[in-house]
Amino acid sequence: MDFWDFSAPFYDLAMKANGSGYGDMLGLVNEIVPEGATVLEAAAGTGSISLAVAEKAGSILCTDISEKMLNVARRKAKKHGIKNIEIANRSIYDLGEPDSSFDIVIAGHILHLIDEPERAAAEIRRIARSMVLLPMSFAKDLGGMARFSMSFYRLFGFAPRMNLRGS
């Protein structure tokens, strides 16, 4: 079991540890997505961004490499009665879609965490017809639950490529 499969049951809690920043980010992405757009979310985790835009989007393809993360996304989509979403196991490096096949491609909270961000960015841009969104939620001076979450993640094998101390 890899880190992402292991963390699937706790992932949404870790994102919410960012306080209002995460909710604000979801709201902003929802505002930006045009009514009826075709959307692909790459490295979607538990699908929170996909679900946030589902009401406005015409269709959504929600992708991730972790089947356990995708299972959480499936449960959430079913719970909320979302029908315009397809959830599929795909790598951000090879999304398996034709050039310019989605109005919008979203990849949130990921490029700073992977080994080949340029390669992933090229793949995202390749399949985007008109817009690429790389949303992030930020918290100044991570503390409390957010700092605990990062320590917990490191304990179980994840070493993010960022300095939590800001120096």
- Kindly list the structural domains of the chain, giving each domain's residue range(s) and its CATH number in brackets, ordered by start: 3-155 (3.40.50.150)
Q: How does 83-101 read in b/e, with b if 16+ C-beta sit within 10 Å?
A: eebebeebebeebebeeee
pLDDT in tens, 27-72: 999 999 999 999 999 999 999 999 999 999 999 999 999 999 999 9
So what's the pLDDT on residue 164?
A: 33
| Mean pLDDT of the 66-90 span | 97
- DSSP state, 94? B
pTM of the model: 0.81
Of 79, 107, 113, whose CA–CA distance to 92 is shortest?
Answer: 107
Q: What is the average pLDDT score of the chain?
A: 84
So what's the pLDDT on residue 155?
A: 58
pLDDT band of residue 165 (cuts 50, 70, 90) is: very low
So what's the pLDDT on residue 86?
A: 98
